[in-house]
Amino acid sequence: MSCIFCRIVAGEIPAEVVAREPEVTAFLDVQPLADGHVLVVPRAHAACVEDLEQAEADALFRAVVRLAGPVREALGAAGTTIGVNNGEATGQTIPHVHVHIVPRWPDDGAGSIHTIFPRRTRRPLGEVAAAIRRVVG
Ligand code: 5GP
Ligand code: ZN
């Protein structure tokens, strides 16, 4: 098994696990962006969100919802930024789906999700929405 997160889930390599469920494991990021930076991962290997089975996705998001409050409370944080780098082109470095939960404070110097984008849009909203609706069906 070469995937590092599969190995953490299997208990083959150490991690600071904060929650373990049949379908989901949550552990501290080894290079935290802030104290309490947690990664929530599905047991089954899937590279991207689109590769998750529905039940895996349900369990993953349920765990994120269940952990967000306790992570915030444990660190005395004002909120959490929750995000997924979904695909190599987005900066995903470990190709096993993982949800970042990062505690936030008003003066922590970090921005919102909006601050990672330079807002380079080219197409009108209606055209974009229609294109997506066609594929969603
Ligand atoms: P990504 O950029 O793929 O969304 O984030 C991967 C995260 O996994 C990074 O924040 C990185 O610090 C973390 N990470 C990489 N290797 C390990 C490891 O072996 N153990 C733990 N706990 N975290 C890791
Ligand atoms: Zn894996």
Q: pLDDT over 90 for what percent of the chain?
A: 99
Q: What angle do CA 82, 86, 87 make, to 5 degrees?
A: 155
pLDDT of residue 57: 98
Please tell me the pTM assigned to this model.
0.97
Which residues, judged by CB distance below 6 Å to any ligand atom, belong to the binding site of ligand 1? 4, 15, 27-31, 39, 85, 91-94
Region 95-116 average pLDDT: 97
Measured CA to CA in angstroms, residue 51 lies from 19, 26, 33, 119 at distances of: 23, 19, 26, 28
Region 99-116 average pLDDT: 97
Q: What is the mean pLDDT of the chain?
A: 97
- In this predicted structure, the answer to whether residue 1 has a pLDDT above a threshold of 90 is no
**Protein residues within 5 Å, CB atom, of ion ligand 2:** 3, 5-6, 45, 96
